[in-house]
Every structure is written in C-alpha cells, then in structure tokens.
C-alpha cells in the first residue's frame, strides 16, 4: 500500500476536497473552476463534483462515458510540501 492512497475524502460545495491519506497526512485540495478544462470540464457542474468518491485510493468521478481521477502522487506531494494545501489547476 502506498502512502498517497486516499483513505477519506469530503467533497465541499466550494470546490474543495478535504482528504486524509493512509499514512495520516491530511489536507485540502482547492479546485479553481476556471481551470477545469478538457476532461475536467464536467466538474464545473457542482452536482457532478459533489458526487466524487474514492476508488482504489484515488479521488474519482463518473462523468458519463468515463471515470476521471486525480494524480495521487502529485496531490500527496503538494499537500505535504505546501502546509496541507493543493491548488489543483489540471
């Protein structure tokens, strides 16, 4: 099991996600809706964003014909190195 697998995630209407990883590291991922382009564009719909879930330790969304997830290693490192905050831009 890798340290950067997400154990818990809370999806918030302000487009942030409060996460806790398997090793206990926790933080907040902040999504800027103006940066949600290409495959991430469906997440601009707050209803879809709030339906996120954890699959195989990754933050995931079902966006119709495909599942979308976030890069766990980058998310983990950004939270670890930036006082618990990851500003997700794509």
Q: Compute mean pLDDT per 10 residues along the chain, 90 residues long, and list them.
A: 84 97 95 90 96 96 92 90 85
1 belongs to a structural domain = no
Query: For residue 47, what are the contacts with CB-CB under 8 A and spacing of at least 6?
Result: none
Quickly count helices (H) and strands (E) in the chain.
Answer: 2, 7
The count of structural domains within the chain is 1
68 belongs to a structural domain = yes
Q: What is the pLDDT of residue 4?
A: 80
Q: Where are the beta strands (DSSP E) in 4-62?
A: 6-12, 16-21, 26-31, 53-55, 58-62
Q: What is the pLDDT of residue 88?
A: 83
Could you list the residue range(s) of the whole structural domain that residue 17 is in?
Answer: 6-88
62 belongs to a structural domain = yes
Calculate the CA dihedral of residues 9, 3, 63, 53 and round it to 10 degrees: -30
């Amino acid at each position: 099991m890798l340290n950067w697998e997400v154990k818990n995630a809370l999806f918030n209407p302000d487009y942030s996600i409060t996460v806790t990883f398997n090793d206990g590291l926790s933080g907040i991922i902040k999504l800027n809706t103006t940066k949600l382009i290409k495959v991430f564009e469906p997440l601009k719909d707050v209803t879809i964003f709030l339906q996120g879930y954890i699959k195989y330790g990754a933050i995931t969304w079902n966006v119709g014909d495909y599942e979308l997830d976030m890069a766990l290693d980058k998310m983990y490192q950004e939270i670890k190195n930036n006082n618990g905050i990851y500003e997700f831009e794509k």
